[in-house]
Amino acid sequence: MPVNPIYLPELREMLAENNVEEMREFCAAIHPVRAAEFMDGLEPLQIWTIISQTDLQTRVEIFKYLDEEVQADIMESAPREEIAEFISHLPSDDRVDTLQAVEEDVVDELMPLINAEDRRDIQRLTAFPEGSCGSEMTTDYIRLRENMTVSEALNEIAKFSEVTETVYYLYVVDEFDHLTGLVSAKQLLKNVGRPNLLISSLMKRDLVTVDAYESREEAARQVVRYDFLAIPVVDESHRLLGIITFDDIMDVVQDEATEDAYLQAAISPMEEPYLEVPFWTMWKNRFFWLACLFITQLATFSAMAHYEDSMKALTVLALFVPLVLSTGGNSGSQASTLITRALALDEVRISDVLRIVKHELLMGLVLGFGLGIIGFLRAYLTPESMIGEADRILLSITICMTVAAICLCGTMIGALLPLAFKKAGVDPGIASGPFVATVVDVCGIVIFFSFVTAWLL
């Protein structure tokens, strides 16, 4: 997010004058998201000074929206005791995310200062693998028992509303923490007039849950599919471990989209925004793939070398190489993206392979002949100085057939590679446009010169 310099001079003045009253007003007057943005550009300790003036809840809210890096800087530089106390008030999922960005020796100093219950909570959450539902969930939610009444449930909301992530879904558990049901705030609000109604008579029992070790994408898929506000995370014996709320899900959906876009262009995923990724990290994530592609592409040299004599005999052939190869790359890139996206959205499964093959076979043929006709026309317009009249028609037909065949080949490889990767348990996104294009290029050279040798020379 670009720096917003409007408030910075005022904020610096408040800090210089230690104007506690104005700092408090600044935090209270505008939305926490904007307060966090406006302070972008101040030193971490200056930010901490400003937000320390406001009430704990607002402080937590503003802190949540600071850049992860700034959060970590504050945790590293502000007095340990203050931070340890503050950490206890952060939502359980946020504090784990932040602590993972803090230097390890600082974490080691902070941990003993955090109260035992929160410390255990942090340790439990950090234990889940990155990208799992367990690593994404919060443990701040409201639990009810089946034998509670509506009025008791309302009391729970009033008691915990400041520390819970959502008051809109309340989870019903038994004495062993097994998840047995869900009551929405909507149902409670509808029954405000019946305070003695039992939760067991209101709650929904047929719940969609995710396992703590499942991927967070799976949670996102379910939440988007069912329009949930949150989804419960359970262990193998259906004990409730935490919940993932819709705002975190929206971030997951957006992160996944970015990751998929990067993969599609052969870039290793990066978590930070474009301008904040360190230069050499970005270099590594781009060079790795470029080098892989370049080395794979070396095969085209050998393939071309194999047909050197054909090119010596008819130099005009070389002029068509970039044209016919790009056709394979473009059609392959289209097909691989369509299939990768359809797999990501659960629109197709590996078992649909036959339908997909049939569809893309037909599509590749129709697309190929369309392009082939354009290729035919271009080849037919080759200047007479380059090729004789009789050869020209043969050349044009060869180009037409080559373009059609390469387009079909690109389409099929583009459609099948993501399915093959998925089947092999690899992210189908690896079958990116550039990757498919590189694979298809070698095929393209072989197809082109085979046709040329057969019909033209």
Interaction with a copy of itself in 302-341: which residues (CB under 8 A)? 304-305, 308, 311-312, 315-316, 318-323, 325-327, 329-331, 333-334, 336-341
Cα Rg for the chain, rounded, in angstroms? 30
Q: Does 388 bind a copy of itself (CB under 8 A)?
A: no
DSSP string, 364-418: HHHHHHHHHHHHHHHHHT--TTTS-HHHHHHHHHHHHHHHHHHHHHHHHHHHHHH
Min dist. Cβ of residue 195 to a copy of itself (A) = 10
Tell me which residues in 391-430 interact with a copy of itself (CB under 8 A). Answer: 403, 407
Min dist. Cβ of residue 183 to a copy of itself (A) = 12
Q: Which is nearer to a copy of itself, 189 or 454 (CB)?
A: 189
> Which phi and psi angles does 327 have, rounded to 5°?
-60, -45
Distance CA 384, CA 379 (A): 11
Min dist. Cβ of residue 376 to a copy of itself (A) = 12
Bridge-partner residues for 230, per DSSP?
245
Tell me which residues in 350-369 interact with a copy of itself (CB under 8 A). Answer: 351-352, 355, 359, 362-363, 366-367
At residue 132, the 3 state secondary structure works out as: strand
> Which phi and psi angles does 182 have, rounded to 5°?
-140, 135
Query: Of the listed pieces 18-26, 50-58, 233-241, 280-288, which binds a copy of itself according to CB under 8 A?
Result: 280-288
C-alpha dihedral sign at 335, 338, 344, 346: negative
Min dist. Cβ of residue 137 to a copy of itself (A) = 16
Instruction: Note the Cα 165 to chain centre separation in Å.
Output: 23
Min dist. Cβ of residue 434 to a copy of itself (A) = 5
Query: Of the listed pieces 4-12, 209-217, 263-271, 390-398, which binds a copy of itself according to CB under 8 A?
Result: 263-271
Reading the block at residue 209, the tokens are 């849950």
Q: Which is nearer to a copy of itself, 78 or 197 (CB)?
A: 197
Q: Which is nearer to a copy of itself, 177 or 217 (CB)?
A: 217
Number of residues located near a copy of itself, criterion CB under 8 A: 118
User: CB of 173 within 8 A of CB of 180?
Assistant: yes
| Binding residue (CB under 8 A) for a copy of itself from 20, 127, 192, 393 | 192
Q: Which is nearer to a copy of itself, 114 or 307 (CB)?
A: 307
Q: Which is nearer to a copy of itself, 45 or 157 (CB)?
A: 157
* In 180-243, alpha helices (H): 185-190, 199-202, 216-226
Distance CA 436, CA 24 (A): 57
Binding mask 196-215 for a copy of itself (x = CB under 8 A): ----------x-x-------
Instruction: Note the Cα 236 to chain centre separation in Å.
Output: 26
Q: Does 225 bind a copy of itself (CB under 8 A)?
A: yes
Distance CA 409, CA 448 (A): 12
Min dist. Cβ of residue 203 to a copy of itself (A) = 14
Query: Of the listed pieces 70-78, 82-90, 106-114, 222-230, which binds a copy of itself according to CB under 8 A?
Result: 222-230
Q: Running DSSP on this structure, what letter comes out for residue 100?
A: H
Distance CA 102, CA 86 (A): 15
| Binding residue (CB under 8 A) for a copy of itself from 6, 13, 129, 190 | 190
User: CB of 230 within 8 A of CB of 243?
Assistant: yes
Query: Of the listed pieces 24-32, 66-74, 87-95, 174-182, which binds a copy of itself according to CB under 8 A?
Result: 24-32
Q: Does 345 bind a copy of itself (CB under 8 A)?
A: yes
Tell me which residues in 97-156 interact with a copy of itself (CB under 8 A). Answer: 154
At residue 33, the 3 state secondary structure works out as: helix
Which residues make Cβ contacts (< 8 Å) with residue 347, sequence separation at least 6?
none
| Binding residue (CB under 8 A) for a copy of itself from 8, 106, 113, 224 | 224
